[in-house]
Copies of this chain bind each other. A is one copy, B any other.
Amino acid sequence: MQRHTDTAARRGRDTARPAHSRGVVGAALRLFAEHGFEATTMDDIAVAAGVSRSTLFRRFGSKDDVLFADQDELVEEIGALLTESGEEPVAAVCAAARMVLRGYTTDPDVALARYQLVRAHTGLRDREIAMSARYQALFTQHLSRGHTDARTLLAAEVLAAAVIAAHNHVLRGWLRTPGETGAAVAQRLEEALSFVTEELAGSLRAAASGRSRPSGPEGAVLVAVYPAGASGGEVLAKVRAALEAGGPQQLQ
């Protein structure tokens, strides 16, 4: 559906965020938890929060956005933080990931309440996934800043995806079995992040520094071989056949 203007949906709200926005969100969360997301109408929220339906839509844009209001703020904070960060890109992105996780763990009640709702409804799940994608886009952009070559762009995109995956892995683990302290979760994230950066950060650096990686777009030969128990001669035969056929192809 999403009928309201996109800009209004995502951001458009007045920059001055009235103090009782928090109260509105609180009332909404209470209603959602009590009667479910779908069963709660915008009218219900309006009367519970003591404002009119109109202002509700004006301030949040949509019902989902009431639920994800603080997350939206966080996305923007992260964006701002990245643009003005002087750190080395990969480190900056990791720092951003830490901050995102902290955004959840500092408010466990809200995060868990939302998780229950998100788990139950496909529409909300998609909304949360879209949120993740926004972080990922920010990360990609920051990692590839100033570079235009295909290799670096790909490496940036992959690394951003990997960092987000690591973050989400840790986050979901915590959401499923809460009770862990914020510090313990942060520690898990550190481990996951170092796993990712050890595997991938090097290749981004290599790609970004221009010279080191093999494939210029032209003139390069890339051979990928995955032997899974076959003899070398067998593989060679297949390669020979591939070469004779002339084009790029896959055999097995």
Contacts and interface: CB of A to CB of B under 8 A. Distances in A.
Interface string A213-251: 011111111111111111010111011101110011111
Contact of A130 (B126, B225, B230): B126
Contacts of A230: 219-221
A203 B199 contact: yes
Contact of A239 (B63, B123, B198, B239): B239
Contacts of A169: 153-154, 157-158
A2 B166 contact: no
A229 B249 contact: no
A1 interface: yes
Contacts of A229: 216, 218-221
Interface stretch (A3-11, A16-24, A46-54): A3-11
Interface residues of A, number: 82
19 contacts: A88-B226, A126-B130, A129-B129, A130-B130, A154-B192, A154-B195, A157-B165, A157-B166, A161-B161, A186-B248, A199-B199, A199-B203, A219-B228, A219-B229, A221-B229, A223-B252, A224-B250, A225-B242, A235-B239
Given A126-B133, A218-B228, A222-B252, 17 more contacts: A1-B62, A1-B123, A2-B126, A9-B122, A130-B130, A157-B168, A158-B195, A162-B200, A190-B224, A194-B224, A197-B224, A221-B251, A223-B224, A223-B226, A224-B250, A226-B248, A239-B239
